[in-house]
Amino acid sequence: MLKPPLSEITQTQANGHSNGLPVATVQSLIQQHLLPLQEHETVGLTDALNRILAIDIISPIHVPAYDNAAMDGYALRSADLSNHTNTKYQVVGLAVAGKKFNGEVQENQCIRIMTGAQMPDECNTVIPQELVTLQKIEEQEYIAFTSHHIQAGDNRRLKGEDLAKDKPALLAGKLLSPADLGLIASLGIAEVSVKRKLRVAFFSTGDELRSLGEALPEGCVYDSNRYTIQGMLQKMGVTPIDLGVVKDDPISLEATLREACKLADVILTSGGVSGGDADYTRTLMHKLGYVLFWKIAMRPGRPMAFGKITSGEDSAVLFGLPGNPVAVMVAFYFFVRPALYQLSGRSKTEIQPMQVTSAQAIRKKPGRTEYQRGILFMNEQGQQQVRITGSQGSGILSSMSEANCMVILQHDQGDIAAGASVEIIPFEGLL
Ligand code: AMP
Ligand code: MG
């Protein structure tokens, strides 16, 4: 899961960046060291949402399987269209979805056809019913139409136009969406081969932390990071393994790290990696494996550990996240999330940031990436703008709760004027 060893270069790269390593450098170092999971399993389609496709899906059929009508109307031969102005077309039959017209459509004849019904072989064009006048002459129906806009092939869906037989319909590495499930079903496929779910163990460290249900003595705080992390992991479709709160002591920490190695592919810890308190964590993590302690040029979330630890036969990729609640989320979204997808075997998909106008001036120091919590809104002129949530402290979790997007202020960027464009990533999309 992790290419050994994490090259010494990574440490060397850190030197010369007194302000910390640029975010992009850290992201690419992580990416270079991860090897995707190989194991597959087969699941039924109803269990496949948010799973990662392990093998390409090749279409066993054409979808649609036959040319069919895209609208309710009348199907005819396009050769008859050229002289249509004064032409009447004799209605010689009916095709509905699931029931084909069995006869033959001759010159200047047509059939009534409903959406989705199979086109007769001779016909290639559907005249929408709205454009048609119907006449009855001696018990026989005829249509006439005056539209000059009708062209050969109009309002017909072609066989295989959605998916062609023997062609890849979905590629391995795709995170399966509701649309994908429908698409797979349209091929008549009931089971798919997906990557095994990644197991991610996590725990919080800190003598001051209390779990829910416990009393809160002075100087203590409730552990919120475990809940945030659990939620973010669940949304990604990995298997979360909650290992609780661990005291700031080397023996408990070592025992928990060893247990996590046994249980999981990836370990996320929060707290205990900032400058002063990192010493024994550092010693211990080095004892168990190869771990780098990074100072990253970002705000929030400056300290982070990354590496691989081993206990007996077991090993796991480790992310030592900062303790502050907002820093945890930022580090998760911008380092852990892409790494988990990469380990899970998901094909690479960058989140596409959007550029929007900032409704306010924002102070920003060049030389670090800042992740501010933003609210994307529509102003009175109907233009999309973003403003920053009240307090941006790295411990202010309500700023994250209130926000609907992340505002990303780039490494080299300085102060932002009101009305200038900034990069954002919305929290929620449609899928
Ligand atoms: P640390 O990195 O351990 O020094 O923690 C930095 C700050 O984050 C301290 O104020 C901690 O109390 C706080 N913190 C650390 N872990 C958690 C947690 N699991 N839940 C809430 N706050 C935390
Ligand atoms: Mg701590």
Amino acid at 130: E
Q: Are residues 381 and 413 in the same domain?
A: yes
Q: Which of 36, 27, 25 is CA-nearest to residue 2?
A: 36
Q: Is the pLDDT of residue 9 over 50?
A: no
Residue 292 φ then ψ, to 5°: -100, 140
Q: Are 212 and 244 in contact (CB under 8 A)?
A: no
Residues linked to residue 63 through DSSP beta bridges, in sequence order: 163
Q: Are residues 105 and 238 in the same domain?
A: no
Please state the atom number of ligand 1 nearest to the C-alpha of residue 271. 3
Ligand 1 pocket, Cβ-based, cut-off 6 angstroms: 204, 206, 208-209, 221, 223-225, 270-272, 274, 277, 322-325
Name the average pLDDT for the chain.
93
Tokens 């136009």 correspond to what residue? Answer: 161
Tens-place pLDDT, residues 50-77: 999 999 999 999 999 999 999 999 999 9
Q: Of all helices (H) and strands (E), which one includes residue 371?
A: strand 369-378
Region 149-165: mean pLDDT is 94
Q: Could you tell me the distance, in angstroms and rounded to a whole number, from the CA of residue 45 to the centre of ligand 1?
A: 41
pLDDT (0 to 100) of residue 430: 80
Residues near 377 by Cβ (< 8 Å), separated by ≥ 6?
A: 359, 384, 385, 386, 387
Is 165 among the domain residues?
no
Q: Of all helices (H) and strands (E), which one includes residue 408?
A: strand 405-409
Q: Are residues 189 and 215 in the same domain?
A: no
- Percent of the chain as helix, strand, coil, to the nearest 5: 25, 35, 40
Q: Are residues 237 and 271 in the same domain?
A: yes
- DSSP letters of 303-315? EEEEEEEEETTEE
Is 80 among the domain residues?
yes
Q: Could you tell me the distance, in angstroms and rounded to a whole number, from the CA of residue 326 to the centre of ligand 1?
A: 10
Helices (H), 216-336: 225-236, 250-263, 279-288, 325-331
CATH number of the domain encompassing residue 364: 2.40.340.10
Q: Could you tell me the distance, in angstroms and rounded to a whole number, from the CA of residue 245 to the centre of ligand 1?
A: 11
Q: Which of 233, 394, 217, 239 is CA-nearest to residue 322?
A: 394
CATH number of the domain encompassing residue 102: 2.170.190.11
Please state the atom number of ligand 1 nearest to the C-alpha of residue 248. 3
Q: Which of 157, 182, 212 is the last residue of a domain?
A: 157
pLDDT (0 to 100) of residue 351: 85
Structural domain count of the chain: 4
Is 313 among the domain residues?
yes
Tokens linked to 430: 């449609």
Which listed ligand is nearest to 396 at the C-alpha? 1
* 7-16, 167-176, 392-401, range with greatest mean pLDDT: 167-176
Question: What pTM was computed for the model?
Answer: 0.89
- Report the alpha-carbon distance of residue 119 to residue 124 in Å, rounded: 7
CATH number of the domain encompassing residue 179: 3.90.105.10
Q: Are residues 337 and 305 in the same domain?
A: yes
Residue nearest to atom 3 of ligand 1 (CA): 271
Q: Are residues 45 and 181 in the same domain?
A: yes
Is 2 among the domain residues?
no
Tens-place pLDDT, residues 280-329: 888 898 899 999 989 999 999 899 999 999 999 999 999 999 999 999 99
Is 163 among the domain residues?
no
- Report the alpha-carbon distance of residue 113 to residue 194 in Å, rounded: 41
Tens-place pLDDT, residues 341-361: 999 999 988 888 999 999 999
Q: Is the pLDDT of residue 134 over 80?
A: yes
Which listed ligand is nearest to 223 at the C-alpha? 1
Q: Which of 280, 310, 344 is the last residue of a domain?
A: 344
pLDDT (0 to 100) of residue 278: 65
Angle between helices 250-263 and 279-288 (to 10 degrees): 40
Is 303 among the domain residues?
yes
Is 166 among the domain residues?
no
Domain span at 117: 68-157
Tens-place pLDDT, residues 78-127: 988 876 566 899 999 999 999 999 999 999 999 999 999 999 999 999 99
Please state the atom number of ligand 1 nearest to the C-alpha of residue 224. 20
Q: Are residues 47 and 187 in the same domain?
A: yes
Mutation to probe ligand 1, out of 214, 220, 225 (largest number of atoms < 8 A from CB): 225
Q: Is the pLDDT of residue 4 over 60?
A: no
Q: Are residues 317 and 381 in the same domain?
A: no
Q: Of all helices (H) and strands (E), which one includes residue 253?
A: helix 250-263
Is 281 among the domain residues?
yes
Amino acid at 284: L
Tens-place pLDDT, residues 262-285: 999 999 999 988 877 667 888 898
Amino acid at 291: V
Q: Is the pLDDT of residue 10 over 60?
A: no
